[in-house]
Amino acid sequence: MDKPKVDRRVLKSREAIKQAVLELMSEKSFDDITVQDIADRANVNRGTIYLHYADKFDLLDKLIEEHIEEMRSIAEWACDLDWIEATRVFFEYFEQHHRFFSTMLASKAAPSFRARFLSYLIESFRAELTKEGGGDPRIDQEVMLRFVATAYVGVVEWWITSGMPHPPAYMAEQVGMLLERHF
């Protein structure tokens, strides 16, 4: 069954709301942001926000989930690529969505993003490890997965918060070579 087509005005409002919350989070603590602040910044009525989201926490949760789902989608087709090429696709995605990732990784108000990003990576690396036959038998799989996923989050966080000092292709080459060593 096809999804019903969403009105362009609805899409435009949702996008404005998402951009508004990201802009505001880069300026002040999420706890200090009100729905009215978001509405004012997005140039919509408060009711429009409540039409799409239960509250500001639901908005943040849906925004995070949208990006996690997009990364899952990328991983589905990138899993057939070698580590460097697959990693390049992800670093290009991080670059295209710089505002989101820089806000989420720099914001003390969004620790749930970091935890969900890490959880997503552990899940993805676990699937890859299973596909590749389990890795080095001397290394506990759970320890290795957490090590690699935490390092990956740390590198992405450093790259984004440092103003992306290297192009995605360079980061992909460096991180891809490191991943090849573990898988």
3-state helix/strand/coil string of the chain: CCCCCCCHHHHHHHHHHHHHHHHHHHHCCHHHCCHHHHHHHHCCCHHHHHHHCCCHHHHHHHHHHHHHHHHHHHHHHHCCCCHHHHHHHHHHHHHHCHHHHHHHHHCCCCHHHHHHHHHHHHHHHHHHHHHHCCCCCCCCHHHHHHHHHHHHHHHHHHHHHCCCCCCHHHHHHHHHHHHHHHC
* Domains along the sequence of the chain with CATH: 1-53 (1.10.10.60), 63-182 (1.10.357.10)
Per-residue pLDDT of 36-62, as tens digits, reads 999 999 999 999 999 999 999 999 999
Of residues 134 and 101, more confidently modeled:
101
Average pLDDT of span 2-20: 83
In this prediction, residue 35 has a pLDDT band, given cuts at 50, 70 and 90, of very high
Rounded to two decimals, the pTM is 0.86
